[in-house]
A and B are shown apart, each in its own frame.
Chain A
Amino acid sequence: MTQIQLIVNGKKVEGNVEPRKLLIDFIREDLGLTGPHIGCDTSNCGACTILLNGRAAKSCTMFAVQADGMEILTIEGLATDGKLHPLQQAFHENHALQCGYCTPGMIMSSVDLLSRNPNPTEEEIRLGISGNLCRCTGYHNIVKAISSVAKSHIFVSPVKKEGRD
């Protein structure tokens, strides 16, 4: 067992984990944050996507011990002061989700995308979420939602600059 300490959604958390425990299992099972999901075995689907030190990462492709000392933002930490993040709002308004299973990961990847590229083209949006599979929406409305946030310049990065590495 290895002792780890990290900041999750702004709060300090500690854990005692087997080194082989995947970060997604630590987040879901130990921390009880079940927003991030598991959809594959091969790092293809992105359902488990979180922000790690401000950047999108597949939490199924990391051991929890690797995240020791790092800062994690999950979907649960995205809304601030009870107010939805503009991307969350846009997913809702544009019907960019059906079953909602891909949604937490999809939104976190969109955060990464718009943090880096505030004015993406449609092609860039599609590339930006190409690490996230959705089986319900055919992506059409997801692209629309992200694009609407970009176009109206309402994106705010949830990541403090100094949090980035």
Chain B
Amino acid sequence: MYPRAFKYERATSLENAIELLSRNREDVRPLAGGMSLIPLAKLRLLSPGCIVDIGRLSELKGIKQDKEWLEIGALTTNTEILESKWLSGSYPLLLDTVKEIGDVQVRNRGTIGGNLAQADSSTDWPATMIALRAKFVSRGPKGERIHDADSFCIEPYTTALDPDELLTHIRVPNPASGSVGASHIKLERRKGDYAIGIVSAQLEVDNEGKCVSVGVGIGAVGVIAVRASKTEQLLKGRRVDADTLAKVGDTVRDSFGGMDILSDIKAPSDYRLDVIGTLAERCISKAYSMAASAGAGQGKGR
């Protein structure tokens, strides 16, 4: 396919990128890995007059650990995250999520920042970031801003960012204890596809097996990814037994308020609403048993 013509600018630094974006802010898009932007441009569904290539900004690449959080540069590719040494230990949900994204080629080019900035409920990161209560750092002409994962996406394909503002870093809070359990369950019609249902959850349990912190994000159902607040309330302070699990489905379905539900040829809205309950039960059950056994593994388990 053949995109429309555009003006191409290659940013040499973060400052330069913001300047280029500002100068063209009427009709501009930053280009990171291009795994969302270019397919849309090829189908001529998205044709910015100017594209600012931010792909080479090394200051936005890489992962480092801080006292409070793991900080991931927005331009870090999904492959770099997958292969990073940080994932297995304290951040199991990151690994569980990134494994599910697309295919090798898509992960090699696509960036975590681009994925989040695309604000697509059916991609894997938004629900996970909500579950993790991540913070997003952005930078624009007016300086730096910090966003909650919950409020970053304001409507489908639209974030809280201004056109000349860039997402620079993602901060994933460090878990409080070692008894973390996590699971990212993605329902897809075919391997590597955009999801038709995502439940992403991280739980921490105390030594009695009660959930002390709970984060549950839901994607690919509502038109934007949402927090399953009712589910979190249900689980908080409780051990997850069969009775509790049986209630998970309904609480998840309560997460969407009056929001439109996605519907397409792969999965109509009633199907998505129907199966998300089952997916949530499976996800919570898996995350909980992982947390519980991690707790037990530390010798202070139930």
Residues of A within 8 A of B (CB): 2, 18-20, 22, 41-43, 46, 49, 52, 55-58, 60-63, 65-66, 68, 109, 112-113, 116, 127-128, 130-132
Contact = CB atoms under 8 A, between A and B. Distances in A.
B103 A61 contact: no
B30 to A, nearest CB: 13
Interface in B25-63: 31, 34-35, 38-39, 41-43, 51, 53, 55
Contact of A43 (B10, B79, B106): B106
A61 B79 contact: no
A109 B102 CA distance: 14
A2 B3 CA distance: 16
A-B CB proximity, top 4 nearest: A131-B103, A19-B8, A41-B1, A55-B108
B102 A131 contact: yes
Given A19-B51, A42-B39, A130-B191, A62 B34 contact: yes
Range for the number of chain B residues in contact with chain A: 20 to 34
7 contacts: A20-B4, A20-B41, A49-B105, A112-B104, A116-B83, A127-B191, A130-B191
Given A22-B2, A113-B104, A132-B103, 5 more contacts: A2-B8, A20-B4, A20-B5, A46-B105, A131-B104
Contacts, number: 86
Most buried by B among A42, A58, A62, A116: A58
Interface class of chain A by DSSP: mixed
B87 to A, nearest CB: 15
A104 B43 CA distance: 25
Interface of B: 1-8, 10, 31, 34-35, 38-39, 41-43, 51, 53, 55, 79, 83, 102-106, 108-109, 191-192
B104 A61 contact: no
A68 to B, nearest CB: 8
A61 B39 contact: yes
Contacts of B38: 22, 43, 61-63
A2 B7 CA distance: 10
A42 B35 CA distance: 10
Given A55-B79, A63-B38, A127-B191, A19 B7 contact: yes
A56 B102 CA distance: 13
Contacts of A56: 104-105, 108
Contact of A131 (B6, B10, B43, B105): B105
Nearest to A109: B104
Contacts of B1: 41
A46 B103 contact: yes
Nearest to A46: B105
A62 B43 contact: no
Contacts of B4: 20
Nearest to A61: B38
A2 B51 CA distance: 14
Given A20-B3, A42-B43, A55-B79, A65 B105 contact: no
Most buried by A among B35, B79, B103: B103
Contacts of B191: 127, 130
A128 B191 CA distance: 11
Most buried by B among A65, A68, A130, A132: A130
Nearest to A50: B105
Contacts of B83: 116
Given A20-B4, A20-B5, A66 B53 contact: yes
Contacts of A65: 8, 10, 53
B12 to A, nearest CB: 13
Contacts of B3: 20, 22
